[in-house]
Amino acid sequence: MSDSNKSQEKLPGRPLVGTFALGFILLLLIVDNAESTPINPFNAPPLVALGSGEAPSGAHCTQP
Amino acid sequence: MSAVLPISARRAGLVLLGMVLVVGSFATAGPRAALLMLVGLGLGLVLEGLRFGFAGPWRVMVTERDGRGLLAQFLAIGLTALVAFPLLATFPEELTGAHAPVGVAMIAFAFVFGAMMQIVMGCGSGTLVNAGSGNLLALVALFGFIAGSFFGTLHLPWWTGLGSLPVYTLQGLFGNGAGLGVTLFGLAGLSTLVYSRSAPEKRRIPRRLWLAAVLIAALALLNLVIAGQSWGVVYGLGLWGAKFAQAAGMDVAASTFWSSSGHAVRLQQSVLTDVTSLTNIGLLAGAFLAMRWKPSPDPQVAALSATSWGLVLLAGVIMGYSARVALGCNVGAFFSGVSTGSLHGWVWFVAAFAGSYAGLQLRPRLMRAAAVSRGMATGGQGS
């Protein structure tokens, strides 16, 4: 067995790490649910911004 | 899991997982959230499934004179610009581009970001995609990125105060039609430069990347049409960091950044109402689906020394911080900035590419030689 394979055996495989990443998202949603104002389903934005007549209100990394 | 479940059952489960994400978004946050989750899933599937990336192509352009991935990036940006410019001109009340000012800190931190993304082998989107595809190095970097982009928000007003130009767009400078022409001319010029500097056998875009470029452009345009704003990554990660900091007891809302009106709303409301959070979640999940769809997953990265793992985490923090202060990463600043006419997108690219070159020189000195020669080579797509 090559050194590379031996080295990789020490770490969890990709399926497990990927599942852990999804678990982290689940944790985020749980924390978010506890920290945020409940979503009002009757105040959801229109399906698509284009043609909605509304100015975009989302945040973006280009905004200082 | 693969040893127990037949592949057909596993794939059925993956389809179900994708549907749960979309339907769950619809049920909790409405139809737009569901569409944005779909866009994010599509981006993750394309980036991982067709191995379209940002950091990797920048690296191999320098180290192997392989310009194919970089040319595919320019192609995707050009295709997006072709549609985005007319859309933004026709619907200025409903759609907005990724426009930001050029500033001293923006340029400096774009350079730092470029260097760090070669340390962790991934940019903002690449870190999410690689983490979703089970790359342990990327997952560690992602935790750092989230923390760093949150720290960046705390200092952003100070950094931007060092000096910035007004927001310049190519539409504003040259007019809508000419602005698009200048953008396409600039991309063509860069493509010619890359083509001429590439090794002869590494300058023709393969079919896989042609397809990926078209799909990425289509999904980025869908993001613009659905959300009213361009595709971005970093804001969502900083918001996630803010949520965790708030949960830990920090008075995040008292900071200058998070007390300003638009950001305060985002902090108060669920991440499922935040555009970039939705596409980020979809991106990560889409990459997971693409990874598990394969009959057998790619090998994991090789183990690093404890010091090297620590450096990866630190590089992730610096990368997140610098992406926030540089007003975007490869996606928000470069891809979306250039494709919607922002001058800062071009400046960001030059600074980050220079930083990427520096990072490639720095990386072997930071990582243990054994880890560099074995682990990183199998470290995923390096998107």
pLDDT in tens, chain A (64 residues): 444 455 555 789 999 999 999 999 999 999 999 999 999 888 889 999 999 999 988 888 998 8
DSSP chain A: --HHHHHHHTS--HHHHHHHHHHHHHHHHHHHHHHSBPP-GGGPPPS-STTS--------TT--
Cα B235 to Cα B67, B207, B213: the distances in Å are 30, 32, 24
Written as six digits, the tokens of B294 are 């394969």
- Predicted confidence at residue A6, as pLDDT, reads 52
SS3 B240: helix
Q: Among candidates B210, B187, B253, which has minimal Cα distance to B69?
A: B210
What is the Cα–Cα distance from A18 to B44, expressed in whole angstroms? 13
ipTM, interface predicted TM-score of the complex: 0.90
Note whether B243 and B280 are within 8 A (CB): no
φ, ψ for residue B229 (rounded to 5)?
-145, 165
Give contacts of A47 with chain B, Cβ < 8 Å: 31-32, 35, 226
Written as six digits, the tokens of B320 are 């997140």
What is the Cα–Cα distance from B232 to B40, expressed in whole angstroms? 11
Check B227 against A10: CB less than 8 A apart.
no
Domain residue spans of chain B:
7-378
Alpha carbon of B196: minimum distance to chain A alpha carbons (Å): 32
- Predicted confidence at residue B35, as pLDDT, reads 98
Could you tell me if A1 lies within 8 Å of chain B, comparing CB atoms? Answer: no
Helices (H), B228-326: 234-247, 256-259, 261-268, 275-293, 306-325
Give contacts of B281 with chain A, Cβ < 8 Å: 25
- Predicted confidence at residue B279, as pLDDT, reads 98
Residue B351 CA to its chain's centroid (Å): 16
SS3 B5: coil
Indicate the burial class of B261 (C-beta count within 10 angstroms; 0-12, 13-18, 19 or more): exposed
Note whether B77 and B257 are within 8 A (CB): no
What is the Cα–Cα distance from B262 to B265, expressed in whole angstroms? 5
> CB-CB: which of A15, A28, A56 is closest to B292?
A15
Output the tens digit of pLDDT for each of chain B's 383 residues: 445 788 999 999 999 999 999 999 999 999 999 999 999 999 999 999 999 999 999 999 999 999 999 999 999 999 999 999 999 999 999 999 999 999 999 999 999 999 999 988 888 899 999 999 999 999 999 999 999 999 999 999 999 999 999 999 999 999 999 999 999 999 999 999 999 999 999 999 999 999 999 999 999 999 999 999 999 999 999 999 999 999 999 999 999 999 998 899 999 999 999 999 999 999 999 999 999 999 998 888 888 888 888 988 999 999 999 999 999 999 999 999 999 999 999 999 999 999 999 999 988 877 654 444 444 443 444 45
> CB-CB: which of A31, A46, A51 is closest to B247?
A31
Q: Among candidates B143, B145, B73, B77, which has minimal Cα distance to B383?
A: B73
Check B99 against A62: CB less than 8 A apart.
yes
Could you tell me if B18 lies within 8 Å of chain A, comparing CB atoms? Answer: no
B106 Cβ contact partners less than 8 Å away, ≥ 6 residues apart: B100, B160, B164, B325, B326, B327, B344, B347, B348
The residues in B 164-203 lying below 8 A from A, measured between CB atoms, are 164
CB-CB neighbours of B361 under 10 Å: 11
Largest CA distance in chain A: 63
